[in-house]
Structure 1
């Protein structure tokens, strides 16, 4: 039986070789981006965080505590595509993000920050909590009739990605001013992960009051790209009516934005 020895001084290369040669490890598409300069930079930025962990496609053994605060790489990429590109791509082309240079750059733009990843990820977490809240009330028969349409909307496939894109479309309306680079959009440093989730909740509640406008986009599991785009555009125009009110409707959220 032949034996092959490989001498390498670079730890990232060692990880790549190990993953490629160990038949017990399924090689993931994100493995091939793990040594990308953007992923390296993001891992360094997250290394100082106590309530978030991001591995940037680099697989490693994690403690139970680390797993609890982990921001899974594939989930991060998917919700970034939803925020910066299109919910149809986020839902139906999730696996292509790591292979397609265009999709990858839309997820992980050169200017993306750790704060922005936490910003979008906590939005996704807030949506999940909202869905659970409405779902629990519905199952126990405690959901008011006026909220049952919202619960039905929240139960549809891909709706979290649709909501992320819809909120992205209204960020300048909420902020009341131009946002030159959405990849740097974040909460101020003093806002911790749990606090960030709390800041997102009233934004989602505000969106759900107009969820009927987003209903057409949920048809066929977000596969009708043109319908989705047109629906988001109409929703954005509707939200523009509240442009002068958001500082009063969402005061804490607006005050703690930075970009």
Structure 2
């Protein structure tokens, strides 16, 4: 498209499918002019991106067709968005965005401070191309949930399939999945990433243990394996049995920033054992048996140290505090 705009602009109109734009209001000013308010592109974002990225302003003969649609019926609006995008390649998550699970999760996330979750929705009848600096990306949430619920292979290698495959999707998005559980899992991911950034920024002054941790976290897919390993060890972290990982959430309805802070203490004590997970991240996180054995090894090693931690003054305080901050749905 960029090449057409720059080299043969007169052909752009006949080569391009054009834009479909939902609007809030259309006023006719003259017979050849209209006034539009509240625009949201539902088809043609790639076109606008291509035109906007050319180095020089397109010539006047570079034309594009545009349909402006004003509609107040929510069902028809959803159909317009879906049917228009069926003609083009769209994210698989777009077609999950209207299911009951994602709708309920969006409602629950509105009760959590300072975060936005769109649940697969990229904008349209309600979100007029908003930009959020506190957005929790739905695709990253899906990866985090897959890893935490013991499938780091899917999280790393099958990101797109999570939204396409009914079995994969329903294994992490069901009536048991709550916004506060997602916050619990996603904040762990963010805490790990924050630790990685800190180590990277202080690379020249790392201890031997910190170098080993940074080396592990620098391997592609390592975060997903670590998420799974920590999830498998949550009973040791909390010093109580856990029947269902989906029941885990923080006791208070906290912000993402506060949730990330809560993970810092437990991570400091358990990260030195990531070397046990190294076999799992070889060859692209694909060998399920190796992954399972590595996670088991990690759990055994952290269990040994946590037994000592739980009876050691000072160290015990860190995990007692964390345990009090975490609530099981069945509590």
**Same fold, TM-score > 0.5, yes or no:** yes
Name the counterpart of 1:110: 175
Is this contact kept in 2: 1:19–1:27, CA < 8 A?
no
Counterpart of 1:255? 324
d(CA) in 1 for partners of 2:283 and 2:213? 18
SS in 2 for 1:186: strand
Give the Å deviation of 1:124: 0.8
1:137 & 1:121 partners in 2: Cα distance? 24
Q: Structure 1 residue 123 and structure 2 residue 188: aligned?
A: yes
Q: Distance in 1 between matches of 2:252 and 2:235?
A: 20
1:191-213 CA-to-partner distances (Å, cap 9, x unmatched) read 32211101111222222111111
| C-alpha separation in 1, matches of 2:89 and 2:139 | 15
Question: What aligned pairs does 1:146-225 form with structure 2 within 5 A after superposition?
Answer: 146-225=209-288
Q: 1:153 to 1:88 in 2, by over 3 A?
A: same
Matched, 1:142 2:211: no
Query: What do residues 162-194 of structure 1 show as CA deviations (whole Å, max 9, x unaligned)?
Result: 111011000111111122322131101243221
| Partners of 1:86 and 1:165 within 8 A in 2 | yes
SS in 2 for 1:229: helix
Match of 2:90 among 27, 31, 42: 27
- Aligned match of 1:55 in 104, 107, 118? 118
CA distance in 2, matches of 1:132, 1:96: 29
Q: Distance in 1 between matches of 2:97 and 2:260?
A: 28
Equivalent-residue separation in structure 2 for 1:85 and 1:96 (angstroms): 16
- Is the contact made by 2:113 and 2:255 (CA closer than 8 Å) also made in structure 1? no
Structure 2 residue ranges without an equivalent (≥5): 1-66, 311-315
Q: Equivalent of 1:88, from 153, 169, 174?
A: 153
- CA–CA separation in structure 2 for the residues paired with 1:129 and 1:177: 28
Q: Which structure has the larger Rg?
A: 2
CA contact (8 A) 1:85 1:106 kept: no
On the 8 A contact 2:238/2:319 being kept in 1, the answer is no
Deviation at 1:226, TM superposition (A): 1.4
CA drift of 1:23 comes to 8.0
Name the CA distance, whole Å, in 1 between partners of 2:209 and 2:242. Answer: 35
More strand by share: 2
2:298, 2:225 → 1: CA distance?
Answer: 11
Q: Structure 1: where are the runs of 5+ without partners? A: none
**Distance in 2, Cα, partners of 1:25 & 1:123:** 36
Distance in 2 separating the partners of 1:62 and 1:135:
34
Alpha-carbon separation, structure 1, partners of 2:79 and 2:265: 43
For 1:8 and 1:191, the matched residues in 2 are separated by: 36
RMSD: 2.4
2:166 is the counterpart of 1:101: yes
Aligned length: 251
Secondary structure at the aligned position of 1:221 is classed as coil
